[in-house]
Amino acid sequence: MGWERKDDIAFYADAALLQHRIGPRWLVFWGPGSRRFWAFRRGAPHPLILSAPDTDGLYQQIQQTDLRP
């Protein structure tokens, strides 16, 4: 199956909307190879990487992570 960026425009837009929603503490992007959304925590003392097949699931993971002490 071939892939072109134009095929995933909606996914890139969804990632950008979530990025805007959560602010600069996380870097959010769409991974075309993995077919998942990804979030990297900025400024964390150790690497913190989350992923989910949709932005709702990723947002829930981010919220749960941000609530941890």
Q: What pLDDT sits at residue 19?
A: 98
* Mean pLDDT within 13-23: 97
- Write out the two tokens for 8: 């995933």
Tokens encoding 44: 């964390």
Running DSSP on this structure, what letter comes out for residue 54? S
pLDDT tens digits along 1-16: 567 888 999 999 999 9
Per-residue pLDDT, 66: 85
For 3-53, give the DSSP string: --GGGGHHHHHHHHHHHHHH-TTEEEEEETTTTEEEEEETT-SS--EEEES
Q: Within 13 Å, how many C-alpha atoms sit on residue 50's CB side?
A: 21
pLDDT digits (tens, 9 = 90+) for 38-62: 999 999 888 899 999 999 999 999 9
0.85 exceeded by the pTM? yes
**pLDDT value at residue 27:** 97
